[in-house]
């Protein structure tokens, strides 16, 4: 709950897109500082260890990506000892090529946004970030708009003339082509369901920036906060959130939602309208402050949030398919009656690392040990003996288990001479306790580091222009960020093969 989930395009270094999760609240309502990465091409998890310390633990911050960098801003942390909330207005940049964090310091004498949480941030054309709304350190709702220019490294407040949305927090924003859309949130007197577009900032527009409120026909979303807004092709998707229980005494207690409301062009009436489709079971539990991210496969990935009595923090992941032709989001429209084209949820087997929502990472470590007699056990013991580590005990029991995070980015694997498809093979390397391969993984990390140093030295001596530096970065990243709890068991085969080849040569 209250985490950030942003897709970063990393085709240059990692040969695929990465979905990066950062921060949020644990099940014990403790702010998290960790990061988990879903490799969208491979469908596996990576937990990189940043080279330098990153932002302090926080939740309800916002984030966006520019090129291969992730930016996060603001948020808050609750100090239990002093029973105080500290709100941030710092901007951090994560370089996904080296997995290093950098605090973006404002220029001397320049203005910057006030500390806040529950704000929204979008990436704009021209390497800019847009920030809107939130709740400041005095718990006042905000309606200001700020632009961050990556080239200048500076913030500038955008003054928009004319009508504008009321100050709010807990709203949601999304890009839909060249349109910047904002919906809902807490406006002080209740929750809102108004839809606004901010014009004049995208597509080379020369018009002055202006907020325009959109009033569309159809079944509009109910007033809410803590919901998600995501665009898929010609459709805008609103999912979940929390609405006020408007009973006789107008209680402030909220009711959580798991509905999906779509905005798009009606296939029959040829007009842009709202529609609330019927969703067949199974459905995710009603929730707020989750994330809904459009994947390259044109599915939407729902993760996390809070619901129930407001004390339950979710760590489940769901896909939302909107129908239409596979791989063609432009085929989507409202009111389609074709078989199999209606929107529906289905649970994702690609569950996020449990650490992401606050459970003890030791729970990811199986309790069994390698069972005797498998080819994997024999190869594993052979490597241990050649490294002078001694054979692993042979008495064991067999069970299928494994962590759900991956330690080896596929870019590094490709640079080392193995294809991504080969890493997908499970074979018989799945009955291993992660702590039992800690020393072997360290040996492999050292091997990666030596190879990267040798490659860099050779390129320097030959006067190369480092155009292939990404290969070395991939290898050195493996050595710098590996730790036993981040291994995925199917990668042990690759690790053992690499060590065998190195020991032979």
- Per residue of the chain (505 residues), give pLDDT as tens: 999 999 999 877 777 899 999 999 988 889 999 898 988 887 778 888 887 889 999 999 999 999 999 999 999 999 988 889 999 999 999 999 888 999 999 888 889 999 999 999 999 998 999 999 999 999 999 999 999 999 999 999 999 999 999 999 999 999 998 899 999 999 999 999 999 999 999 766 778 999 999 999 998 999 999 999 999 888 999 999 999 865 544 444 468 999 999 998 876 777 899 999 888 888 899 999 999 999 887 889 999 999 987 678 988 888 898 875 434 444 444 544 343 456 777 766 544 433 332 223 332 222 223 333 444 556 656 666 666 666 554 433 333 333 322 222 222 332 233 233 322 333 333 334 444 455 666 676 677 667 767 766 776 666 554 433 334 444 444 444 344 444 444 455 556 666 666 665 5
**Centroid of chain to Cα 72:** 12
397: Cα within 13 Å, side-chain hemisphere: 5
Cis peptide before 43 (omega within 30 of 0): no
Structure tokens at 299: 């599915």
Q: Which residue has the tokens 């969703």?
A: 279
Q: Shortest CA distance to 230 belongs to which of 302, 135, 330, 305?
A: 302
Has this prediction a pTM greater than 0.75?
A: no
Domains of the chain by residue range: 224-356, 362-504
């Amino acid at each position: 709950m209250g985490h950030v989930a942003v897709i970063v395009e990393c085709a240059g270094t990692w040969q695929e897109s990465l979905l990066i999760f950062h921060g949020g609240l644990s099940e014990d309502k403790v702010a998290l500082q960790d990061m988990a990465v879903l490799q969208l091409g491979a469908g596996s998890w990576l937990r990189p260890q940043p080279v330098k310390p990153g932002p302090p633990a926080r939740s309800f911050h916002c984030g966006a990506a520019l090129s291969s960098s992730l930016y996060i801003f603001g948020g808050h942390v609750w100090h239990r000892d002093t029973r105080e909330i500290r709100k941030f207005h710092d901007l951090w940049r994560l370089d996904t090529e080296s997995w290093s964090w950098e605090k973006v310091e404002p220029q001397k004498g320049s203005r910057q946004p006030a500390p806040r949480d529950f704000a929204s941030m979008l990436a704009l054309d021209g390497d800019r970030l847009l920030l809107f709304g939130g709740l400041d350190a005095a718990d006042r709702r905000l309606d200001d708009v700020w632009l961050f220019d990556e080239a200048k490294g500076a913030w500038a407040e955008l003054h928009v003339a004319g009508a504008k949305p009321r100050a709010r927090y807990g709203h949601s924003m999304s890009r839909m082509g060249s349109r910047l859309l904002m919906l809902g949130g807490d406006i002080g007197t209740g929750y809102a369901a108004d839809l606004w577009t901010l014009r004049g900032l995208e597509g080379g527009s020369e018009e002055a920036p202006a907020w325009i409120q959109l009033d569309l026909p159809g079944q509009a979303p109910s007033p809410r906060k803590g919901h998600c807004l995501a665009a898929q092709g010609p459709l805008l998707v609103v999912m979940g959130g929390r609405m006020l229980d408007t009973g006789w005494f107008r209680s402030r207690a909220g009711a959580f939602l798991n509905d999906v409301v779509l905005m798009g062009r009606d296939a029959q009436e040829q007009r842009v309208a709202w529609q609330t489709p019927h969703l067949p079971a199974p459905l995710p539990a009603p929730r707020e402050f989750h994330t809904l991210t459009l994947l390259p496969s044109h599915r939407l990935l729902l993760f996390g949030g809070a619901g129930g009595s407001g004390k339950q923090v979710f760590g489940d992941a769901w896909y939302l398919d909107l129908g239409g032709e596979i791989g063609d989001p432009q085929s989507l429209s409202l009111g389609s009656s074709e078989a199999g084209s209606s929107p529906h949820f289905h649970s994702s087997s690609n569950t996020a690392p449990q650490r992401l929502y606050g459970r003890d990472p030791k729970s990811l470590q199986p309790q069994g040990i390698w069972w005797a007699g498998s080819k994997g056990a024999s190869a594993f013991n052979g490597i241990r003996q050649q490294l002078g580590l001694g054979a692993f005990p042979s008495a064991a029991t067999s069970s299928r288990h494994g962590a759900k995070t991956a330690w080896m980015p596929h870019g590094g694997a490709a640079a080392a001479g193995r294809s991504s498809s080969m890493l997908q093979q499970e074979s018989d390397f799945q009955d291993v306790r992660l702590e039992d391969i800690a020393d072997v993984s360290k040996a492999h990390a050292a091997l990666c580091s030596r190879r990267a140093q040798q490659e860099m030295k050779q390129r320097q001596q030959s006067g190369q222009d480092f155009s292939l530096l990404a290969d070395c970065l991939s290898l050195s990243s493996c050595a710098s960020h590996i730790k036993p709890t981040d291994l995925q068991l199917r990668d042990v085969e690759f690790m053992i093969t690499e060590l065998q080849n190195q020991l032979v040569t």
